[in-house]
Amino acid sequence: MSRRLARRVVAYGAVIGLTACSSSTPVAPLATGPWWKGVAEVDRRAHPGPGVTVKIPIGVGDDTFTPRVIRVDVGSEVTWTNQGASVHNILKAVTTQNFGQQFGIDTLNTAGTYNFTFASPGVYRYYCSLHGNEDSGMVGMILVGGTASP
Ligand SMILES: [Cu+2]
């Protein structure tokens, strides 16, 4: 580091120190918005016909639905498989949303599976109440058909 650069760094540090207590200090905005913004969408469409099973393993120890966001064809069956050691559940993130039929499972034990067939296009969000809430933590989303991500 050159002497001039070193001086500049020291000066910058001093400015930070002086302004840290000021109410006018600019603060970098926190990441805001829904969790699925920027999350990779895994496209599982173009499988032949309805009834295709899409595996969603639940990560060992990290309590996540993997992948978090997948897109499937209308009529696709999705299978959640608990590959972890913990018990999980699968609940609607929006309780009033119509999934077409009863959705979810209260207890998904280790090695257990849960199947659901998505018969209508739409955006279907879900979560595990043991390791998250409707909007963060152990959450997932199924995009059915060509419906745009929200
Ligand atoms: Cu869980």
- Listed by start position, the domains of the chain span 40-144
Instruction: Output the pLDDT for position 125.
Output: 97
Instruction: Output the pLDDT for position 56.
Output: 61
CA 147 / ligand 1 centre spacing (Å): 27
How many Å apart are CA 149 and CA 120, to the nearest integer?
A: 15
CA 88 / ligand 1 centre spacing (Å): 4
CA 120 / ligand 1 centre spacing (Å): 26
Instruction: Output the pLDDT for position 22.
Output: 46
Q: Are 41 and 70 in contact (CB under 8 A)?
A: yes
pLDDT under 50: residue ranges of the chain? 1-2, 5-22, 60
Instruction: Output the pLDDT for position 33.
Output: 81
Instruction: Output the pLDDT for position 61.
Output: 55
Question: Given its phi and psi angles, is residue 114 left (phi above 0), alpha (psi -120 to 50 degrees) or beta?
Answer: beta
CATH class of 40-144: mainly beta
Instruction: Output the pLDDT for position 21.
Output: 45
